[in-house]
Each structure stands twice: as C-alpha cells, then as structure tokens.
Amino acid sequence: REDLAAYCLMLADDALIASQRLAGWTTKAPELEEEVALANIALDLLGQARVLLSRAGHLGAAEPFRAGPWDAQRSGAGPLPQDDEDVLTYFRDDRAFRNVTLVETDLGDFGRTIAWLLVLSSWRLALMQRLTGSGDPVLAAVAGKAVKELTYHRDYAAQWVLRLGDGTEVSHVRMQAGLDAVWPFVEELFLPHAVERRLADAGVAVDPGGLRAEVDAVLDQVLPTATLTRPERPAVGLVGGRGGRDGVHTEALGTLLALMQSLARAHPEATW
Amino acid sequence: REDLAAYCLMLADDALIASQRLAGWTTKAPELEEEVALANIALDLLGQARVLLSRAGHLGAAEPFRAGPWDAQRSGAGPLPQDDEDVLTYFRDDRAFRNVTLVETDLGDFGRTIAWLLVLSSWRLALMQRLTGSGDPVLAAVAGKAVKELTYHRDYAAQWVLRLGDGTEVSHVRMQAGLDAVWPFVEELFLPHAVERRLADAGVAVDPGGLRAEVDAVLDQVLPTATLTRPERPAVGLVGGRGGRDGVHTEALGTLLALMQSLARAHPEATW
Amino acid sequence: MTVTEDQTRDPEAALEAQFDRTVAAEGRIEPRDWMPEGYRKTLIRQIAQHAHSEIIGMQPEGNWILRAPSLRRKAILLAKVQDEAGHGLYLYSATETLGVDRSELTEKLIDSKQKYSSIFNYPTLTFADIGVIGWLVDGAAIVNQVPLCRSSYGPYARAMVRICKEESFHQRQGFELLRTLMAGTDAQRAMVQDAVDRWWWPSLMMFGPADGDSPNTQQSMAWRIKRHTNDELRQRYVDMTVPQAEALGVTLPDPELRWNDERQAHDFGDIDWDEFMQVVKGAGPCNAQRLQNRRAAHEDGQWVRDAASAYAAKQAAKEVAA
Amino acid sequence: MTVTEDQTRDPEAALEAQFDRTVAAEGRIEPRDWMPEGYRKTLIRQIAQHAHSEIIGMQPEGNWILRAPSLRRKAILLAKVQDEAGHGLYLYSATETLGVDRSELTEKLIDSKQKYSSIFNYPTLTFADIGVIGWLVDGAAIVNQVPLCRSSYGPYARAMVRICKEESFHQRQGFELLRTLMAGTDAQRAMVQDAVDRWWWPSLMMFGPADGDSPNTQQSMAWRIKRHTNDELRQRYVDMTVPQAEALGVTLPDPELRWNDERQAHDFGDIDWDEFMQVVKGAGPCNAQRLQNRRAAHEDGQWVRDAASAYAAKQAAKEVAA
C-alpha cells in the first residue's frame, strides 16, 4: 500500500511538474496553434496528475503533509482543509517530490521544449501502454486514457522535430542544441527505483528499464528523418546514488515550486 | 509616527526590491568586474534597506505582520520570532510593499539594467542629498551614508551608459532600447504620496516632486554624450489613482516576492 | 436574380443596392459577396481589434496560471486562456475571409497601429482578479458580443456564436470562483472586494466612449455590424451586474449607483474619461508591458515559423518531384 | 651574481640552475624570472583551474541568494559570492603574469578544455547546503590552499594569502550558520544532517586522486608548487573536521570513521572513486548545467565587452587627436 502510494506519486509528479513547465509557455508560443496545442498537452498531463494524486491521497500519501509544511511546533493550527491533490501539490517540499528530473528542467526555447516533449511523451507512452495491463485496476484505467493523450503528444512533438530539424539552417542548429541539452536527463528515465521493482514484480507497476527499446525506436525513426544526430553526452549523475525518484532533484525544482506553491501557502486555511 | 514608519518603509522597500533585482545578476554578468560591481551596489542597497526596515520596525510597522501573513484564524501559532527587518521582508504580502514600481521591473539585459540604475541612483541620490537635512536625525544619518554609496552607483551607471551608448552599433541600439523600456516608470518617481507631503511639510521627508530637475540634469549631461535620445514614451498609468507607494504594483512584484519569501515562509517558526 | 437595365449601366450601384437590401432584411453577407469598401474596412478593424483583445487578454490571466492555488483552478484557468487563443484563431480566420492575414494584423498590433480592449492594460494583482475578470470583464464582453451573433457579416456572426457560448461558460466559472472566495476566509473576501474596486470602472469603459463621442457608431449600426449604442450596452451591463454584486455580497465602488424607478434602470456615477483616453493612448498601467510581451513572443517565434514554412516548401517540392 | 664559464656556454642550463637554487632555498620566482616551460604550464593549469573553480563555485551558492531566509544571511551570502568573483579576478591576474589572458582561459573553461573543482557539480538543495559548503567545502579548500601561500611562484603565493584569509572568514560564517540551524527547529536540524550526508564524500574528493593515482604530484612538489600529497592533505582535513562535526552535533556519513590511536589519526572508509571519475569526466549531477550557465553568461555579455573595447578605442583615438 505504501509502495503503491509512492508509485502513484512518481507517475503523478512527472505529469504535474511537466504540466507546470508547459504552462509556462502560455502567451509565449511561436504561433497561436502552438499556444493551443501546448496548453492542451499541459491540461492532459494535469488531468493525469490529478487522478494519480487523488489515488495516492486515498492510499494515505497526503496525511504527513496535512499539518502544513512547517515546523511541527506551529501546531496550534488545525489540519489543512484542502483536497488531497492540493495538499500533495502545494504543501510538500521539493524533497518529497518523486518526479524524474527531466520534467523539472528549464524548457529553454521552442526547440528544446520539443526535444523534451518528444523524449518525455515517447517514454511515458511506452510506460502507460504497459501499465494498461497493470494488476491494479485504477492504474490500468488511468493508463488507458493516458495512452490516447500521449500518442497525440508524441506525434505533435515528432512533427515539430521534423519541421525544425529539416527546416532552415538556423532551426536545424537550434533543434540539435535542444536535443543535446535534454539528453543528459534521458538516462534517469530508465533507472528503476526499488518501489518500481517491487511493484513490477507484483504485476502492478512497470519496470522502466524495459522501456528503452521503445523510446529508442521512436528516436531512431524520427531523428535521422529530421537530419538530427543522436547526442553523445554523458548522463547527469546521481547524488550519492539518489535521483529524482528519491527526492534528490536539480536546483530547478525548488524555484519552480516556490512560485507554484506561493499563493496556496500564503493562505493555508483557505479553499479555492 | 505612523507616517514616519510608512516613510521609512517606502525608502526601505525601494532599496530592498532594487537590491533583490540586482542580486539576480549574480553569475550572469558580462564580466567579472561587473559581477563585483553589481554585487557591491546590491549590498549597499540591502544595507540601506536593513537600517530603514529596522527603523520602521521600531516605529511599530512590523506588528501587523507578526501573526504571520495568513488568515487570522490560524491563530494557534505564536508571533513570529524573527527580527523586525525579516518580518517586514518575508511576511508582508505585495500589497503592503511601498516601493515605486521602477525598482520591481524586470531588469532585462545589461543595457536595460544600466538605464534602470542610472535613473534609480540619480533619483535616490538627489533624494538622499536633501534628506541629509531631515529633522529626523536617524533619517539624516542614513542619508549621509547613502549619499556616498549612491554617488558611486550613479557614476558606475553613467560610465556604462557612455560605453554602451557610444560603443558599437549593436550596443547603441540596445542601450537606447533599455532606456526606452525603463522610461515609462520614471514619472512615478516624482509623484508625491500624501505621507511624503505631510512629512516634507514637517521638515522630515523630501517631496519627490522637487527632484526632477536634478535627475534631468544628470540625464541631460549623460545622454547626449552617449549619443542617446531622451525617450518620448508615455508614463505607465496608475490604477484608480494608486501606484507603488500605495501598494498597487505591477505584476512583476508578486513573482519576485514568491521566490524571495518562499523559504522564510516555509519555516515561520525558525530563525536563521 | 434578374439584371435590370439600371444595374447593367452601373454594376457597382446595383451591387450596393443588393448589399443594402440583404443587410436591411437581416440577411448575411458572405465572403464572396460584394461589399462596400468602408464596410470591409470597418469589419477588419473591429474583428482585428477583437482578436487582438483575446490574445492580449491572455496575459493578465496567464500571470496566475503558474501560481493558481488549487489544481482545479489551475485547470480551469489554463483551459480558459487556451480558449482565448482559440477565439483569437477564429477571429483572425474571419479577417482572412476579408482579405487580410494574421501575420499582417499581428504586425499592426505590435507596432501599435491597431488597438485591443483597454481593460487588458490593467494588472492582475491577486487571484481574486481572475474571478472578477470572469465575472465583470467577460460579463461586459458578453453584453457587447451577444448582439454581434446577429452581425450582418456571416463569418463574424458565426465566430461570435461560438465565442459567446464559451464566454458565458467563463463568466459562470468566474462567478463561481468569487462565490467560493466570499464563502472563504476574511482574507479571501477582502481580496474579492479589492479586485472589484479595481475592475469595476474599467469594465464600464469596455463599452467605449459615450454615444456623443463615438462617431462610427451610426454607420456601424446601419451596416448591422453593431446593433446598439455604447451607452445602451453599458446600461444593460450595469442593470445586469448590480443584482449579481448583491448576491455575491460585494460593494460596487460607486456611491452614485442606485435604482431609478422612473427610468427603470440604474443611475451611476461619471466615468473618468480622462483615464480611459490615457489608457487608449498607451499610458495605462500595463500597455508597454503587454505589447512588449507580445512582441517578444512574436520575434522569438520567428525562427520556428520560418522553419515550418521551409519544411512545408521542401515537402511540397518532394511531392512534385515524386 | 657572477657568470661562470659553464653558464656562458649554456645560458639555459645556468638559468635552470639558478631557478632550482631559488626554489630549493624557498625563494620566490617572479614573473620576469626565467622558469622552465613545464613549471609555467603546470602553474597556468593549476591557477586557471583554481580560478575557474571560484567562478563556477558561485553558481551553487548563487542559487540561494534570491531566497535567503533572512536579510543578514542574504547579505553574507551575496558578499561571499562576490568575494569569489574577486578571487577569480586575482587568480586570472596571476595567470596573466604567466602570459595567458583571462578571455583565453574562459574559452577553455566553456569548451571543457580546462577543469574546475568537481565539488561544484553537486546541487545545493536546501539552505543548509550554504552552511555546509562554507564549513566543509571552504574548509577543504583552506587545507588545500594554506600551503600554497608558500608556493614558489610569487604572484600565486600572494594571491593565495589574500584568498585564504577570506576563505577562513567564509568558513567561520558557514559554521556559524550551521550552529544556528542546529539550535533551531527540528526541520532545520534535519536539513543540516541531510546536507552533511550529501557533501561529506564529495568534500573528501576535493583533494584529488589517491597518491598512487596522482602522477603530477612529485614534480609539483619538487617545484614547490605543491607541498603535500593529496592523501596527506585529505588526512589533515578529516582530522580537523571530525571534532567540528562533534561540536556541531552532526554525524559524518561514514561508518568506518574512527580514531586510530596508533596512527594518531582518523581512519575512514573508501572513497567512491568511480563517482569521482564520472564527475571529473563531465557526468556529475550539474556539470552540464554549470557549463551551460557560464557559457550563456559569457555569450550574452559579448556585446557589452565589445562595446567597452570599441568605446575605449574611440577615447584613445580622441586623445591622440587632441
């Protein structure tokens, strides 16, 4: 049960933080169609996150955070009145977030964003496709819906990779640079966490180690057509063997959360 | 006494928020000498802010915020243990900040930053020069120290305005663009607030309306030499007659404070 | 349609007569139909201004997406801002049927040669502003726009039908947010009243200058582009909004606002037309910021649009070659 | 100095002999003195690496300036990061006395052709990291650097004297921050322990590979550029730090750490040299980010540096003309 809650948080946080990053494109996209598309993707991911956060909440994941994120001695105040999804989103500190670090990275320009989206959606699609067979019916159902959404996200990203990679000289350079910048964060996607391993053995979760072939297949198809080169850059290292799934993030997450959580934390008694 | 506290907050917040903006240049400056210089200026302004915030605190300005920034009903908790300067910095919401909006604006590139610094330091220098004659001995002392610092800030900015304005074609264009971008926020510097008027009448404060000639003199000397044109752009309007001095800010301040206050607010019981 | 002798002699006059008859009969003018140049220009200006307003209007709301205080509100807000991008798309498409394209209009916007609704030059300072924009700003927009669903120009009328439907939805969401806040903490209630205080007068300005100062209104009404004067719509908006404010428990910041039994309408105080003119002329609180953001997005996106065109051209060339 | 017959015949050998005598006598080599090419290259590499470390080291700390939780801590941190920029300046100046300039070295840094201390490739995740960097990282730096104040190369030795003085100050500030946090809330204490857990092992790696794997050490020691082996310095650091950790009340994350009465020194566990090599090779947690930030700052600043040069040239031309 604790493992399942942790696993729901992992999948939820990936979507939640990715959605927050994408929402940062609002009013900044290169074309109105892209405003609409990026918002769509952000909304899909936000929807996935909400279901998974609620599930994690039902499994008890929100309880440790209901007293507020602060020092326990500030205990005169009652438990937070918010829904589980909001307690988990707004009153967890960064160290309790379980997302892979790829999703929290600065999206940079549109080229880097597209590279990020291609990798992220190919990986999550492969993951969700397998998760439709999960022994946990809720996860299987979430995955079923997510597969449709992620297929669109991946195709959207792939089309833009082609346009930018095989567009102008400038766009080719920028697209390749975007891919290069994203690359160090790819390896972590395939590192199984102990929770994932245990739940995969129980037929509930997906071992991400097995997803590499499917992501590679997408990249091997898209990148050469887009005249792009698969980067050869070292993966970012873990910190003492721990990465995003263990709550050890990049410096980017703290700043992202500072903004995301600021208003909710200024009014812990409030519901909205 | 209430007026004096409010006035100290105005002068403090101008320096505090400007310092925060300048500190954002850390590790991003075009040259190491500029790293050092911008940090110096940020430190000077931070120092000015701290003295003025403490003074405002002595006059009672921190009390309303000692219960924490939140809904009064979260009242089981005791008063915040921090110093006045920190209560005022970290536990006020943006609407209680009294700074002019110029200081909170995004500094953009180095050219815009330099334009901002030239205007800000010329204005604050003129203000502080007059304030050395304040009937309030604390303000007079603060001003005495600030005059030396601000003279350096203004000269630093003026030198860079010359280099960028009369440097390359690219730098000329960017310097002029920076000046243009800053210009709409200049007018507010000369609008007296009721508090300033009352205290100026009492010989304690400076009426900012009287500072225009001195700022203009600086600009009239520097801009032509730098081959730059004084912009003709409309001033930003007030909102229902209210501006930064009344706590009606631009959208930039909320985001700035979200980051600045995030850690202190996550641990309201803590001292650091 | 039979061609009369008169029409043969002056085809332009005949077309104009036909146009006038269609409009008078509440018929629809379609893109291929003949239309007077003034009608076309007026429409382009009005639709473009409306499209620009949708796009610039994304900014004040976008300011709170990353900070929305619950995931439900975040989803609602993100979807709303997305809808506005969608509205911009339909409206720019409607202008394309009149022979101008989007990029041309975008250039005019960022060069300050075309306007957008002055309301979006005010800042959003708290999350209650999001609710108040939904309630008051979308509310005013709906009052303005519902008659446009019967505009004489077909593509515009059809776009407005869809837009009005979505706007009503947004308005209800805004009102619901405010209801929630008013039922919340003291701080939340104070936030709502503060937001209402700031947005009320600008929302009245959304209907444009008083009728006496609105020279284009008569022609637009004759062409059935517009169907009511600014002051008529403003009055309708006030009458509609006052009871909503009461239901919500907020005070509208106008001491002269009261029911006039004789007129069967609300009297209200004088609008600060100086402020309105200032904002229209570019000296509002956020004009510079809004245009600068829009310009930056447009310029930053140039390489992407260029790449898309280049790619499309290459693909077309390949198809020809194949 | 009298010129012997032998020296006349081979002036290079004579100079080298003179150099060797100066070094052996703990004298100082100054920029105008003759020095062996290997000595010059070693110095440039070492000083540049040290300068780069100061500059890159600003990033992990800079990450918390805007969020520092009290104004006093903000001022301390800002001043500290500023000092590091200053250290970078002195050190780059020292390399200039050896005939390379700063811009050349900066290019090498951002092209990954020169290194910086691997410790700065770890992220700062909480504000306690700021204290721990001061305590452990500056502490290790001081152990490394104090002997360099007696380096045989004069400009380097003098720069190190000043730098070491400031570093000690920073280290005391770091320790004082940690003391405050340890006397604070449970959350603050937990933050400190967590930070110590993450930074302890990387701080041991700051002394470089074990002596058996450090081929350059012997020559550097002969030239009096270095004065102790990596392992000697590492041992000194451990022995110095263990009692400080006890005073602070934190646990160093090494179950094998214990006092060895026989050696009169602490034994400690094996360092993960694989991790060290990975980080050195560019695969640490933040290598890409650190270099990318540095590169971006350098490239974004190009137009400013160009303007300054152009302006200086114009002014010089005017002076000549006048």
pLDDT tens per residue across span B151-169: 999 999 999 999 999 999 9
Alpha-carbon distance B196 to A244, whole Å? 52
Q: Which of C61, C192, C197, C286 should we substitute to test contact with B (largest number of B Cβ atoms within 10 Å)?
A: C286
* Chain C meets chain D (3+ C-beta pairs below 8 A): no
Alpha-carbon distance D322 to D320, whole Å? 5
Three-state DSSP class for residue C212: helix
**Half-sphere exposure of residue A194: CA atoms within 13 angstroms, side-chain side:** 5
Token pair listed for C279:
């904002």
- Per-residue pLDDT of A198-256, as tens digits, reads 999 999 999 999 999 999 999 999 999 999 999 999 999 999 899 999 999 999 999 99
| Chains in contact with B via at least 3 Cβ–Cβ pairs below 8 Å | A, C, D
Q: Are A94 and A20 in contact (CB under 8 A)?
A: no
Q: How confident is the model at residue D248 (pLDDT cuts 50, 70, 90)?
A: very high
Q: Are strands D258-260 and C265-267 parallel, antiparallel or unpaired?
A: unpaired
Alpha-carbon distance C296 to D64, whole Å? 29
**pLDDT recorded at residue C4:** 52
Please state the length of chain C: 322
Closest by Cα among A79, A74, A76 to A64: A79
Contact assignment for A272 to C67 by CB distance below 8 Å: no
CB crowding A91-110: b at 16 or more within 10 Å, else e: bbbbbebbbbbbbbbbbbbb
| Chains in contact with A via at least 3 Cβ–Cβ pairs below 8 Å | B, C, D
For A266, which residue in chain C has the nearest alpha carbon?
A: C69
Of B75, B93, B269, the CB nearest to A71: B269
Alpha-carbon distance C176 to C247, whole Å? 12
CA B205 to chain centroid, in Å, comes to 16
Of C62, C127, C303, the CB nearest to A26: C62
**pLDDT recorded at residue D212:** 86
Of A162, A264, A272, the CB nearest to C311: A162
Token pair listed for A253:
């997450």
Q: Which residues of B touch D310 (CB under 8 A)?
A: 167-168, 171
Share of chain B above pLDDT 70, in %: 96
Torsion angle in degrees (nearest 10) through CA of A27, A31, A36, A38: -80
Contact assignment for A28 to C297 by CB distance below 8 Å: yes
| Chains in contact with D via at least 3 Cβ–Cβ pairs below 8 Å | A, B
Q: Which residues of A touch C127 (CB under 8 A)?
A: 263, 272
Q: How far does C55 lie from chain B, in Å, by closest CA?
A: 18
Alpha-carbon distance A102 to D62, whole Å? 22
User: Who wins on pLDDT, D219 or C209?
Assistant: C209
Residues 59-118 of B with CB under 8 A from A: 69-71, 73-78, 93
Q: Which residues of D touch A65 (CB under 8 A)?
A: none
Token pair listed for B129:
């020069």
Q: How far does C277 lie from chain A, in Å, by closest CA?
A: 26
Q: What is the DSSP letter of C308?
A: H
What does pLDDT average to over chain C? Answer: 93
**pLDDT recorded at residue D1:** 45
**pLDDT recorded at residue B206:** 97
Q: How far does D120 lie from chain A, in Å, by closest CA?
A: 12
Q: Which of D59, D66, D125, D196 should we substitute to test contact with A (largest number of A Cβ atoms within 10 Å)?
A: D125
Q: Which of A72-76, B202-206, C201-205 has the lowest mean pLDDT?
A: A72-76
Token pair listed for C83:
């809808």
Q: Are D123 and D195 in contact (CB under 8 A)?
A: no
Q: Could you give the ipTM of this predicted complex? A: 0.94
Read out DSSP for C93-127?
HHHHTTT--HHHHHHHHHTTSS---GGGGS---ST
Other C-beta atoms lying within 10 Å of the C-beta of residue D222: 14
Q: For residue C36, with 0-12 CB atoms within 10 Å meaning exposed, 13-18 middle and 19 or more buried, which class applies?
A: middle
Alpha-carbon distance B107 to B38, whole Å? 12
Q: Are C297 and A28 in contact (CB under 8 A)?
A: yes
Alpha-carbon distance B234 to C279, whole Å? 10
Q: How far does C183 lie from chain B, in Å, by closest CA?
A: 14
- Per-residue pLDDT of C145-164, as tens digits, reads 999 998 899 999 999 999 99
Q: Are A55 and C91 in contact (CB under 8 A)?
A: no
Q: Are D131 and D177 in contact (CB under 8 A)?
A: yes
Residue whose tokens read 């018929």: C27
Residues 6 or more apart from D148 whose CB is under 8 A from it?
D156, D157, D160, D164, D225, D226, D227
Alpha-carbon distance C72 to B177, whole Å? 41
Residues 6 or more apart from D237 whose CB is under 8 A from it?
D139, D140, D143, D203, D204, D207
Of C194, C197, C283, the CB nearest to B234: C283
User: Who wins on pLDDT, C226 or D59?
Assistant: D59
Q: Return phi, psi of residue A11, to 5°.
A: -65, -35
Q: For residue B4, with 0-12 CB atoms within 10 Å meaning exposed, 13-18 middle and 19 or more buried, which class applies?
A: buried
Please state the length of chain A: 272
Token pair listed for D148:
């360099």
Alpha-carbon distance A114 to C308, whole Å? 14
Contact assignment for C67 to B240 by CB distance below 8 Å: no
**pLDDT recorded at residue B221:** 97
Token pair listed for D186:
């449970």
Contact assignment for B71 to A267 by CB distance below 8 Å: yes
Q: Which residues of B touch D181 (CB under 8 A)?
A: 272
First and final CA of chain D: distance in angstroms? 48
Q: Are D114 and D105 in contact (CB under 8 A)?
A: yes
Strand-pair partners of D260: D265
Q: How confident is the model at residue B76 (pLDDT cuts 50, 70, 90)?
A: low
Alpha-carbon distance D143 to D135, whole Å? 12
The enclosing H or E element of C9 equals helix C5-9
Token pair listed for D321:
């003309």
Of D67, D88, D308, the CB nearest to B167: D308
Alpha-carbon distance B8 to B272, whole Å? 24
| Chains in contact with C via at least 3 Cβ–Cβ pairs below 8 Å | A, B
Using the predicted structure, report yes or no on whether residue C144 has a pLDDT greater than 90: yes
* Chain A meets chain B (3+ C-beta pairs below 8 A): yes
Using the predicted structure, report yes or no on whether residue D189 has a pLDDT greater than 90: yes
Of B184, B234, B250, the CB nearest to C281: B234
Alpha-carbon distance A101 to D238, whole Å? 33
Q: How confident is the model at residue A73 (pLDDT cuts 50, 70, 90)?
A: very low
Token pair listed for D178:
């940690």
Q: How confident is the model at residue B72 (pLDDT cuts 50, 70, 90)?
A: very low
pTM here is 0.95
**pLDDT recorded at residue D7:** 52
Using the predicted structure, report yes or no on whether residue A77 has a pLDDT greater than 70: no
Q: Which of A35, A52, A110, A260 should we substitute to test contact with C (largest number of C Cβ atoms within 10 Å)?
A: A35
Residues 6 or more apart from A126 whose CB is under 8 A from it?
A211, A214, A215
Alpha-carbon distance C231 to C214, whole Å? 10
Three-state DSSP class for residue A175: helix
Q: Which of A73-82, A156-165, B162-171 has the lowest mean pLDDT?
A: A73-82
Q: Which residues of D touch A95 (CB under 8 A)?
A: 125-126, 194
Alpha-carbon distance B255 to A260, whole Å? 10
Q: Is the dihedral of CA D40, D42, D43, D48 positive or negative?
A: positive
Token pair listed for A126:
């492969």
Say whether residue A49 is in contact with chain C using an 8 A CB cutoff.
yes
- Per-residue pLDDT of D265-294, as tens digits, reads 999 999 999 999 999 999 999 999 999 999
Q: For residue B69, with 0-12 CB atoms within 10 Å meaning exposed, 13-18 middle and 19 or more buried, which class applies?
A: buried
**pLDDT recorded at residue A135:** 95
Q: Return phi, psi of residue B255, to 5°.
A: -70, -40
Q: What is the DSSP letter of C123?
A: -
Using the predicted structure, report yes or no on whether residue C122 has a pLDDT greater than 50: yes
Q: Are A236 and D286 in contact (CB under 8 A)?
A: yes
Other C-beta atoms lying within 10 Å of the C-beta of residue A76: 10
Q: How confident is the model at residue B77 (pLDDT cuts 50, 70, 90)?
A: low
What does pLDDT average to over chain A? Answer: 95
For D299, which residue in chain B has the nearest alpha carbon?
A: B30
Using the predicted structure, report yes or no on whether residue D5 has a pLDDT greater than 60: no
